[in-house]
Structure 1
Amino acid sequence: MECLLNFSGTLTLQEFQKYQWHYKFRAVIYGMMSYFIFWMGIGYFVQYNLLGMIVILILLTISFGSALFVGNRRTKREYKDNKRLSAMTSHYIFKDTGITISNPTGSTQYDWSEIRQIREYNDMFLLYITRKMAIIIPKRFIGSQEKLVEFRDMLNNHYQYSKIKLRK
């Protein structure tokens, strides 16, 4: 089987945090909106004065900040505890049959049919294996702009579902 493309790299904490943010973005936004609407509704029905509404907004801001702080600490701990992410270089090999990811502890192989969704962001590609788990491929792993175009073409040619969001 012919190797279409290969590259390697070690994921940084910042890249892992960006992945977590992309993954959790909708949930965070919906949660914030729901929480805001709930407390503003309480304030409206209890008929707080302006000072009461300001206090509610301050409490909302503190609670959102706390939630983001706790989430960030959890992400850092998860990255630090997962040695495959934080301390090892992973090698990515793309073939007609699928994707192989190897590092010093072993290798994992995915068929193209196992990829549920592909997303491209400014600095990374996310190839979702499940709704909650993705192969994280920072663009810096790929290298040059030519290889990036080649990588996009390969994804378009081998990914058989409609849930692909790549940049032009």
Structure 2
Amino acid sequence: MEEQTIIAKGKPTLKNALQFLMYSVGLVLLMGIVSIYVLVTLYYITTMYGDQRAILMLSLQKAIVPTILLFFLYLFVLSFREYRFIKKRGVQDDKIIFFINKAGITQQKGQLQEILEWSNILKVKEYSDLFIFRHSSTKWSFLPKHYFQTKEDLALFKKMLQEYHTNPSEKSKSQTDFSVKDEYFPSVDDQEFSILAKGNFTFKEYNQYASLLRRKTLLIYVVSAIAMIGLLLRDTFFGANARRDLSMWVLIAIFAVIIALGAALLYSLLKRRTRKEYESDPLTKKEKLYVINEEGISYAVGGSFVQYLWKDFRKVREYKNLFILYVLPQRAVLIPFSLFESPQDVEKAKEIIKNQVDSRNIKFED
């Protein structure tokens, strides 16, 4: 295929955002639905006798309402969180522009730019209105189809997917080495107040960040499970005919053990998922270069380049020996202290962050 560049630009619609949301959190919702059904089924199996099929069907009927409530509650929490973030930052009117060619996909929004090589895209899924790209087991991005200016551009993009992404030989040709491309930072040496951090973080450092997400997920699971059991057994525990005898405490103990076992299983799955995510993400094995200054943070990873302004970060946190700069609730820029040239550079980076980020969004350990 001849060297061609497609320019696609526009603004995502609410439908695009919902489609992407359902894809990215679908597994979480599925886990919640299955958990509700299992808990309801266990309750009826322990309190009823008779046809097992009838018990399972009754459990399904009783689980529908909690499932719907969980679904809408989850969407409400996500929407409210986005509303708070937009209210603080203001609505961004910049169009998102994609430049697509043999080298990869470049996304630009205002001064924010991100370059994604074809080799760093693990999977592409096409929907009726958009394409979703999977970068790792928990990292996605999307490209709405209405961004393309003509049907010919859309058809050409699909050909590029076949040529550069689906075709293993072409995909391997487009891969770069593991070193950082210095041409992304032509003026770094001229920036007197820039701080450099260069290298790669280990699985231990990545796992420190993932442990924060695990703790939050486990807390949500335990609270949700207790709330759902309380809702289902409200008559048994709090009704007028509720019995405060040994059988009630045995039932409470059974469900407490079930919740504890579920939490242990969930923790094990999340920890395994962290390892899988670290190993499946091509960028984790590549050298990274971070440039920190008063304007924001720029970093290059192999053939990918991203530039963030300080206003793009929702929250900045110091945890153990790394900086965690949240762009989205489930997406962050990680900068381990080990990548800085000296402890003095770490302190300088802290000072820049304190001066450029709202103090309410900073959580440092000192």
- State if a TM-score over 0.5 links the two structures: yes
- In structure 1, C-alpha distance between the alignment counterparts of 2:203 and 2:334, rounded to whole Å: 12
Give the aligned residue type for 1:13.
Answer: F
2:234 aligned with 1:44:
no
1:103 counterpart (285, 291, 301): 301
User: Deviation at 1:94?
Assistant: 1.3
- In structure 1, C-alpha distance between the alignment counterparts of 2:229 and 2:313, rounded to whole Å: 40
Equivalent residue, structure 2, for 1:35 = 225
Give the aligned residue type for 2:295.
Answer: T
Equivalent residue, structure 2, for 1:64 = 263
- In structure 2, C-alpha distance between the alignment counterparts of 1:159 and 1:35, rounded to whole Å: 37
Equivalent residue, structure 2, for 1:18 = 208
Equivalent residue, structure 2, for 1:148 = 346
CA offset digits 1:36-90 (Å, max 9, x no partner): 35436737357534433332222221111111111122222111110102x1121
Equivalent residue, structure 1, for 2:55 = none
Query: How many residues were matched structurally?
Result: 167
2:329 aligned with 1:163:
no
Give runs of ≥4 in structure 1 deviating > 4 Å: none
Q: Is contact 1:13–1:79 with CA below 8 Å preserved after alignment?
A: yes
2:288 counterpart (68, 83, 90): 90
- In structure 2, C-alpha distance between the alignment counterparts of 1:81 and 1:10, rounded to whole Å: 15
- In structure 2, C-alpha distance between the alignment counterparts of 1:10 and 1:68, rounded to whole Å: 26
Query: Quick check: 46-55 or 102-111, which moved more?
Result: 46-55
Rg: which structure is higher?
2
CA offset digits 1:108-158 (Å, max 9, x no partner): 111222222211112221111123211011222235432222111111122
1:115 counterpart (313, 324, 338): 313
TM-score scaled to structure 2, two decimals? 0.41
Give the aligned residue type for 2:209.
Answer: Y
TM-score scaled to structure 1, two decimals? 0.83
Give the aligned residue type for 1:18.
Answer: Q
Give the aligned residue type for 1:101.
Answer: Y
User: Deviation at 1:97?
Assistant: 2.4
Gap regions ≥5 residues in structure 1: none
- In structure 2, C-alpha distance between the alignment counterparts of 1:119 and 1:31, rounded to whole Å: 24
Query: Quick check: 33-42 or 63-72, which moved more?
Result: 33-42
Q: Is contact 1:120–1:126 with CA below 8 Å preserved after alignment?
A: yes
2:197 aligned with 1:4:
no
- In structure 2, C-alpha distance between the alignment counterparts of 1:50 and 1:97, rounded to whole Å: 59
- In structure 2, C-alpha distance between the alignment counterparts of 1:125 and 1:119, rounded to whole Å: 6
Go from structure 1 to structure 2 and tell me whether the alpha carbon gap of 1:15 and 1:44 turns closer, same or farther (over 3 Å shift): farther
Give the aligned residue type for 1:59.
Answer: I
1:80 counterpart (279, 282, 287): 279
Give the aligned residue type for 1:155.
Answer: I
Q: Is contact 2:221–2:263 with CA below 8 Å preserved after alignment?
A: no
**SS of corresponding position for 2:194:** strand
Query: Quick check: 103-112 or 30-39, which moved more?
Result: 30-39
Q: Is contact 2:289–2:301 with CA below 8 Å preserved after alignment?
A: yes
- In structure 2, C-alpha distance between the alignment counterparts of 1:49 and 1:162, rounded to whole Å: 46
User: Deviation at 1:15?
Assistant: 2.1
Q: Is contact 2:218–2:266 with CA below 8 Å preserved after alignment?
A: no
Q: Is contact 2:294–2:352 with CA below 8 Å preserved after alignment?
A: no
**SS of corresponding position for 2:317:** strand
Q: Is contact 1:40–1:53 with CA below 8 Å preserved after alignment?
A: no
- In structure 1, C-alpha distance between the alignment counterparts of 2:273 and 2:322, rounded to whole Å: 21
Larger RCO of the pair (alpha carbons < 8 Å, separation 6+): 1
Q: Percent identity?
A: 19
- In structure 2, C-alpha distance between the alignment counterparts of 1:113 and 1:50, rounded to whole Å: 52
